[in-house]
Amino acid sequence: MARIDRISVHRRLVPLRRPFVTAVRRADVVDALLVSMVDTDGRSGWGEAPVSWRVTGESHESVVAAVEGPLSEAVRGMPGDEPGAVSARLAHAVVGNPSARMAVECAVWDLAARAAGEPLHRYLGGSSAVVETDMTLSAAVTAADVAELLRTAEEHVADGFTTLKVKTGAGGDDLRTVEAVRARVGDAVAIRVDANQGWEPEEAVRIINAWRDDGVDVELVEQPVHRDDIDGLAYVTRHTTTPIVADETVWTSRNLREVLARGAVDRVNIKLAKTGGIAEAIALADAAKEAGVSVFVGCMSESHVGIAAAAALASRLQQTSGSHGAHDLDAGLWLSASPVEGGVQYAGSAVHLSEAPGTGIERLAPALADAAPIGGRR
């Protein structure tokens, strides 16, 4: 039986095709932390730790310290074909550090699927090797921003995207901006809104109901208020008819139950960087299904490595957990290049999962150089 042998961290700087702007930040590059895991038979599994101190409270330094320290110690020597047992061990290896745990745990599941000779999505119980994604439009503040947003929206629709997600809450005229997007792309395109915690509850209700009254037809609104304001989230849900989605408010199946008990949301955006990996993401989806709440799979600013695991999870949830409509897995489309060879491929709004064992990731891409090293082992 092959056992987990070596874990390495790789840092890559990947320029974005265009700036990514939300209510909380602007980015021109993804500083990707990738984890490779090798078993005693020489197979490699891959994972990624999306780093965002604003969301997960982690830095590149803290992720590397957790991966090279307690997380590596927890899994080294464990069987490579028992991902459930390894996931349980990882959950108790550190306090917090969800992105670091995501990277290591996804590498564990990738390694196990390779040992079984199956693509990761089928190993998880999914059947489709294609999942649909929406496409995100950066938040607009100035008139020039709005003009650029509308031009980009038209381009995405021409490329075949049928669901657009508009970032709001950054200080612009959100009401008019979304109305302008609807007028530009027509009625056949679904429009989602993500406020990234940028509104107060009363403001959210005013804007969302104005869209409803004006016939803008917003499919859903994601995280309208601060993640800790569950009462405010419930207020928005009670006073609107547009489905309200929890993102930053819901991390695990445990805090989902508190949110549902207070009637705070209609849907949940599941992200591996919040759950700490695949095992808890499945538990969260199962708990949501039991409560009659639908889910979709999202991502942070991450590369094709993180998207490979998230898309495999999405394939499973399309089979088992009431996931419907487009997922939110467009992060790889923002990158100028992939930091790895093999793995997922994009074709318009379709995310194509590899049919090779595991995620199908083969190796680091040689075109991207290392960023500044962090930690003691590479």
Same domain, 210 and 320: yes
User: CATH number of the domain that 78 lies in?
Assistant: 3.30.390.10
What's the pLDDT score for residue 378?
32
- CB contact at 8 A, 132 and 351: yes
What's the pLDDT score for residue 193?
98
Cα dihedral value 256, 261, 263, 265, nearest 10: 0
Asked if residue 369 is part of any domain, the answer here is no
Per-residue model confidence as pLDDT tens digits over 18-59: 777 675 667 788 899 999 999 999 999 999 999 986 788 899
Nearest to 130 by CA among 286, 285, 345, 325: 345
Among 65, 95, 117, the domain-final residue is 117
- CB contact at 8 A, 270 and 300: no
Same domain, 37 and 86: yes
Tokens of 248: 């930053």
- CB contact at 8 A, 292 and 332: no
Question: What pTM was computed for the model?
Answer: 0.93
Label each residue of 359-371 as H, E or C: CCEEEECCCCCEC
Give φ, ψ of 244 to 5 degrees.
-105, 130
Asked if residue 183 is part of any domain, the answer here is yes
Tokens of 96: 């917090």
What's the pLDDT score for residue 371?
54
What's the pLDDT score for residue 366?
87
Provide the 10 A C-beta neighbour count for residue 241.
10
Asked if residue 376 is part of any domain, the answer here is no
Burial class of residue 365 in the structure, from the number of CB atoms within 10 Å of its CB (0-12 exposed, 13-18 middle, 19+ buried): middle
Same domain, 108 and 183: no
Same domain, 351 and 329: yes
Task: Give me the residues of the chain with pLDDT under 70, please.
Answer: 21, 23-25, 53, 322-324, 367-378
Nearest to 196 by CA among 239, 236, 167, 231: 167
Among 99, 117, 135, the domain-final residue is 117
Same domain, 113 and 126: no
What's the pLDDT score for residue 374?
55
Q: Which of 165, 167, 274, 289 is catalytic?
A: 167
Same domain, 182 and 199: yes
Burial class of residue 82 in the structure, from the number of CB atoms within 10 Å of its CB (0-12 exposed, 13-18 middle, 19+ buried): middle
User: CATH number of the domain that 266 lies in?
Assistant: 3.20.20.120
* Domain hosting residue 323, numbered range: 122-363
**Is 289 designated active site?**
no
Nearest to 239 by CA among 268, 201, 211, 292: 201
Asked if residue 378 is part of any domain, the answer here is no
Same domain, 162 and 187: yes
Same domain, 92 and 161: no
Same domain, 96 and 147: no
Query: What is the residue-wise DSSP string for 153-195?
Result: HHHHHHTT--EEEEE--SSS-HHHHHHHHHHHH-TTSEEEEE-
What's the pLDDT score for residue 169?
87
Which stretches of the chain are DSSP H helices? 60-66, 72-75, 83-91, 98-116, 120-123, 143-158, 174-185, 201-213, 230-238, 253-261, 272-275, 278-290, 304-320
Same domain, 91 and 175: no
Asked if residue 233 is part of any domain, the answer here is yes
Among 90, 117, 144, the domain-final residue is 117
The total of structural domains in the chain comes to: 2
Amino acid symbol at 134: D
**Is 167 designated active site?**
yes
CA distances, 102 to each of 49, 137, 236, 347 (Å): 6, 26, 31, 26
Same domain, 252 and 332: yes
Asked if residue 16 is part of any domain, the answer here is yes
CA 348 – CA 121 distance, rounded (Å) = 20
Asked if residue 322 is part of any domain, the answer here is yes
Same domain, 177 and 305: yes
Asked if residue 274 is part of any domain, the answer here is yes
Place of tokens 């949301």: 265
- CB contact at 8 A, 19 and 37: no
Per-residue model confidence as pLDDT tens digits over 236-266: 999 999 999 999 999 999 999 999 999 999 9
Q: Which of 165, 271, 274, 289 is catalytic?
A: 271
CA distances, 249 to each of 31, 43, 161, 196 (Å): 25, 37, 28, 11
- CB contact at 8 A, 143 and 365: no
